[in-house]
Structure 1
Amino acid sequence: MTIRPFTLDLDRPLSTASGTIDARKGFLFGRDGGVGEATPLPGWTEAADDCGDALRAADAADDWGSALAACADAPAARHGVSVANLDARARADGEPLAAVLADGAEYADAVPVNATVGDADVEATRSAVADAADAGFEAVKVKVGARPIEDDLARLRAASDAADVSLRADANGAWSAKQAREAADDLAALDLEYVEQPLPAASLDGYGSLDGVPVALDEGLVHHDLGDVLDVADYVVLKPMALGGVDRARDAAMAAREAGVDPVVSTTIDAVVARTAAVHLAATIPDVRACGLATADLLANDLAVDPAPVEGGRIVVPDTPGHGVDVEVGTDA
């Protein structure tokens, strides 16, 4: 067969709304010389067992169209199959994956990325933002929502004073509409690039009260149709694994741009194949904003050598055929 399961430990446990994650478990999928990655994440995609079932159905299909149809409703599995398909096509054409995704349009040779600063006290937040700027990052995302909103506002003020960077705040849906409304003037005064998912993802109500505060929706894309999200968002954070592939994510990015909403590409703490495919995707979005792709250091180990490391706040897009990751699927599943 052409499916290889894997487990990768995180460098340190990560707390999420769905629980604590200490490892990422997924599958590599190979076909016709192409390799894709399917790494499900609770709350974002299908469960691991369902992902494996969908991949096995795709593996038994006669052609790529049937393989993609077999996992159409399992986003992580479809991501793995679609990336393998695109990788196979790109390798056969002798072109980078970005060229196949761009379909004749120009694409960038490098992608800006943001640094992420986790929850910490005011001085530690200030120091981390300054360090990120010194390392060449032009955009920094600060995690908020774990503390009282007044404390987070103090942290964001310190971050704003620490360096001349585009500053983002990510609340992961932690604030109520009332809290966000009461903090709106203070948030607007900070001149943030945006606040990411300030309100719970299950509802799109409440965003009308945040006038003057640019808003990015992330988790909300799992719960709502893209069109409804575009009606209330200034930015959308596109995670290809959750959307079912870099092809679907690119369609969403182009739809967002047409609606006057800026797309940002991120990941679900993916391994190197999916992460690099996301870099290729980001390169095809004209004038893309800094993306959330500087995540390799969250993993204690990886599937292969990273062909697209972060350097000076940017990632150079691999120019070799396919996605550029040298990894074997094997026959151990």
Structure 2
Amino acid sequence: MSVEAFALPLATPLETAAGRIEEREGFLFAARGGTGEATPLPGWTESLAACERALRDADEKERWSAALAACEGAPAARHAVSQACLDARARAADRPLYRELGGERECERVPVNATVGDADVEGTLSAVETAVHAGFETVKVKVGARAVAADADRLDAVRSAYPRLELRADANAAWDEAEARAFLDATSGLDLAYVEQPVPGVDALARLTSVGPVAADESVVDAGVDACLDAGVAAVVLKPMALGGLDRARDAAFAALDAGVTPVVSNTVDAAYARSGAVHLAASLPDPAPAGLATGGRFARDLVPDATPVRNGYIAVPRGNGHAIGGSAGE
């Protein structure tokens, strides 16, 4: 087993509630021919130092079960160990990672959404036009940075220009309940797929589900997927790094499917190995919803170049055994 640190510069800084992030730091965990990635993100996972401690502890274990147990309470670390285990087993069985996860059908590619940041109406339309011309059929528009009415106008303009586009909005818990209700009311005729995490807290989400379609993102990590399903959300956004691994994210996805709720695979601006794993996770699901995985372009430099390129609104599932990118760390 081995633990290798990395630091990757972002093409543009990432603004989070915990502050500005200009590079993504993490670790590759390699064992028995498999590789996994741990890329902690403040506010979503354990700290970088706590992640390293958990991985160093796991590195001393002889069995996968003991290595995984060493990472309890450190979701990014557990993600790395779990992914390495799945990758090693898939390679040994000569099959792709999505098959090792339990995927029952052949899958060559998964659909992904484009993300449009905050801008005025003109800027939003321009960004959506670029995404549509690139082949995206689903676009997520970031909202919450300006007045509710102004954000509603942005979505109205997009819907008028692109009546068949699958359209999502993401507020990143920026609103209180009154603001969220106002936005849901104002956009009720726009056929939005959902508004992602309009308010903080699963109880507040539950009170909004009668107003319009809402999705849980942060609340999946904070309260658990079962609480979000009980709240009546339309979709759950699943970020394997924050949930403690591909295996746990897949369990959450099937809990959602069993409840008639859409699981949407996403990521926490992860590097190449974790993004590849998330693509395999989406590929392992029946009829996966467009995933939030078109984030490779956020990196100025990655662990593996062009590991999950987006073409015409899809990412091809990496071909080969295991996660099928870059070989195994240490090879």
Query: Please, what TM-score do these two structures have when normalized by structure 2?
Result: 0.96
Q: Output one character per residue of 1:68-93: Cα deviation in whole Å (capped at 9) or x when no partner.
A: 11112210000000000000011111
Q: CA RMSD in A?
A: 1.5
Identity %, equivalent residues: 54
Alignment partner, residue 214 of structure 2: 215
Q: CA deviation at 1:64?
A: 0.8
Are the counterparts in 2 of residues 176 and 199 from structure 1 also a CA contact under 8 Å?
yes
Alignment partner, residue 73 of structure 1: 73
Structure 1 range deviating more: 39-48 or 178-187: 178-187
Are the counterparts in 2 of residues 273 and 323 from structure 1 also a CA contact under 8 Å?
yes
Are the counterparts in 1 of residues 148 and 182 from structure 2 also a CA contact under 8 Å?
no
Q: CA deviation at 1:21?
A: 1.3
Q: Assess, with a 3 A threshold, how the Cα gap between structure 1 residues 100 and 209 changes in structure 2: closer, same or farther.
A: closer
Structure 1 range deviating more: 82-91 or 318-327: 318-327
Structure 1 range deviating more: 221-230 or 258-267: 221-230
Q: CA deviation at 1:206?
A: 5.0
Q: CA deviation at 1:308?
A: 2.7
1:83-102 paired onto structure 2 within 5 Å: 83-102=83-102
Q: CA deviation at 1:307?
A: 3.4
Alignment partner, residue 118 of structure 2: 119
Structure 2, unaligned stretches of length 5 or more? Answer: none
* Secondary structure in 1 matching 2:49: helix
Matched, 1:229 2:228: yes
Q: CA deviation at 1:327?
A: 4.9
Alignment partner, residue 148 of structure 1: 147
Task: State the alpha-carbon separation in 2 of the partners of residues 34 and 305 from structure 1.
Answer: 19
Q: Which amino acid is 2:58 matched to?
A: A
Task: State the alpha-carbon separation in 1 of the partners of residues 226 and 25 from structure 2.
Answer: 31
Q: Assess, with a 3 A threshold, how the Cα gap between structure 1 residues 260 and 328 changes in structure 2: closer, same or farther.
A: closer
Task: State the alpha-carbon separation in 2 of the partners of residues 31 and 329 from structure 1.
Answer: 9
Task: State the alpha-carbon separation in 1 of the partners of residues 226 and 205 from structure 2.
Answer: 17
Task: State the alpha-carbon separation in 2 of the partners of residues 210 and 29 from structure 1.
Answer: 40
Structure 1 range deviating more: 152-161 or 89-98: 152-161
Q: Assess, with a 3 A threshold, how the Cα gap between structure 1 residues 239 and 209 changes in structure 2: closer, same or farther.
A: closer
Matched, 1:304 2:308: no
1:1-333 paired onto structure 2 within 5 Å: 2-102=2-102, 105-163=104-162, 164-200=164-200, 202-205=201-204, 207-232=206-231, 233-327=233-327, 329-330=329-330
Task: State the alpha-carbon separation in 2 of the partners of residues 330 and 324 from structure 1.
Answer: 15
Are the counterparts in 1 of residues 202 and 227 from structure 2 also a CA contact under 8 Å?
no
* Secondary structure in 1 matching 2:315: strand
Q: Assess, with a 3 A threshold, how the Cα gap between structure 1 residues 21 and 162 changes in structure 2: closer, same or farther.
A: farther
Q: Output one character per residue of 1:234-259: Cα deviation in whole Å (capped at 9) or x when no partner.
A: 10000000000001000000001111
Task: State the alpha-carbon separation in 2 of the partners of residues 241 and 253 from structure 1.
Answer: 14
Task: State the alpha-carbon separation in 2 of the partners of residues 7 and 307 from structure 1.
Answer: 17
Equivalences, count: 329
Q: Assess, with a 3 A threshold, how the Cα gap between structure 1 residues 284 and 33 changes in structure 2: closer, same or farther.
A: same
Q: Output one character per residue of 1:1-54: Cα deviation in whole Å (capped at 9) or x when no partner.
A: 611000011111121122111110000000001000000001100000000000
Task: State the alpha-carbon separation in 2 of the partners of residues 324 and 306 from structure 1.
Answer: 13
* Secondary structure in 1 matching 2:141: strand
* Secondary structure in 2 matching 1:102: coil
Q: CA deviation at 1:158?
A: 1.5
Task: State the alpha-carbon separation in 2 of the partners of residues 293 and 311 from structure 1.
Answer: 12
Task: State the alpha-carbon separation in 1 of the partners of residues 118 and 199 from structure 2.
Answer: 18
Task: State the alpha-carbon separation in 1 of the partners of residues 310 and 137 from structure 2.
Answer: 13
Q: Which amino acid is 1:153 matched to?
A: A
Q: Which amino acid is 2:230 matched to?
A: D
Task: State the alpha-carbon separation in 1 of the partners of residues 184 and 274 from structure 2.
Answer: 36
Query: Please, what TM-score do these two structures have when normalized by structure 1?
Result: 0.95
